[in-house]
Amino acid sequence: MRRVAIVTVLSGALAAGVLAAGPAAQAETKPADKFGKEVTTTSQEALSKKDLISEAQTSGQPLTAAEKYSVQAAEYCRTYTRIRGYKASNGKWIIAVTNRLNWCYNGSYVTRYRASYKAYTYNKYKWVWKGWAMKKVTHPSNWAYATSYAQGAFRYTGNGKTYKPYVIIRGYKNGAYKWKAGG
């Protein structure tokens, strides 16, 4: 019975993409006699992957190798979007570069990533889109993080200058992120 409860918790956690909930609700019952009444108590807490494996071990029903692997290899995904550009006094974007990084991680390394980019101009005759100065996504050899670079080039016909707003987003193996924007 205990193994079924742990496998159910494990399957639910992997399907939901979140940390597994604590052990199945445990109930204590006392006989309904003159000394007391029937009582049921429950407790729930979030368990880390390591705690879930050790709890199964101490309960006398250790996880199989396949179950351990599925707990340890569970991955979580995150998305972060950042926009950089210029706004008018009414709050509307005049020009903008959008960088969106989607990355999945498992605590040890980034498992996969994808980036998407957009460029926007309010008036394509005053702000002429000149193309991407830089648009790439990369990772180091140890897959500790994924970095997405986006830099667009717009030429303003009023003064002939080129403006290059940029956004850099880095997603780490633990779900954290950092960003830098300018231009």
Residue 170, pLDDT above cutoff 80: yes
Domain boundaries, given as residue ranges, for the chain: 2-72, 76-182
- What are phi and psi for residue 3, nearest 5 degrees? -65, -40
Query: What's this model's pTM, rounded to 2 decimal places?
Result: 0.63
Contacts of 91 (CB under 8 A, 6+ apart): none
Q: pLDDT per residue over 81-117, tens digit each?
A: 999 999 988 888 999 999 999 999 988 899 999 999 9
Higher pLDDT, 53 or 124: 124
Q: Report the distance separating Cα 144 and Cα 166, nearest Å.
A: 23
* Listed residue (26, 48, 52, 23) closest to 39, CA to CA: 26
